[in-house]
Structure 1
Amino acid sequence: MADRRAKATLAGAVLFCTLTIVAVHFQQHQERSTMYQGVLRDDERRHEKMRQRQEDLEASQRKRELYERVQAVDKPSNSTLSNA
């Protein structure tokens, strides 16, 4: 009788430890996946910001070209730059 209870206790402890290990590995996998999704979102935000900055630069260059066609713009000389 005591032998049977000892075997059942051992089997229960082994089962409990096995389930705990499986649960921890599953949780780590989930956390790793969640963190990786954050990296992907950060990359997407960075690409979107770079695209927006490029669009702003192109718009600024178009405006500059338009303004330079409408009014004369003198290029500053080197002496003017050194005094600034």
Structure 2
Amino acid sequence: MSRASKLTLLGTSLFAAGTVVFVHWAQKADQEAMHQGVLRDIEQRRIKRERQADFDAQRALEAEYLKEQSVRESNLDDVPRLPSSSGGAAAER
């Protein structure tokens, strides 16, 4: 075999081996990224369940307090207005 054919064979062999190694590495990286996505989804579901449990507990607590206390809707028209601060209260002192 000539020197040129040996170099061509060596070059194509290295290129093929490099391609196989790169594809293998890329597949592993993609697999790891997908696994991280699954872990992130599991964590988000856990947080959502915790928040829902807190919300349900607050709702139950509110219902319990409403049984014990009488709560009525307030009407802002019934609330007396404070005097304006244009010197009226300060002038009386």
Instruction: Give the unaligned 5+ runs of structure 1.
Output: 72-84
Partner of 2:13: 14
User: Which structure has the larger Rg over C-alpha atoms?
Assistant: 2
Give the superposition deviation at 1:21: 0.4
TM-score by length of 2: 0.69
Note the aligned Cα RMSD (angstroms).
Answer: 1.3
Tell me: higher relative CO, structure 1 or 2? Use CA pairs within 8 A at least 6 residues apart: 2
Moved over 3 A (4+): none
What TM-score, normalized by structure 1, do the two folds share?
0.76
Q: Which runs of 5+ in 2 are unaligned?
A: 71-93
**How many Å separate the matches in 2 of 1:31 and 1:59?**
42
Q: Which has the higher helix share?
A: 1
Number of aligned pairs? 70
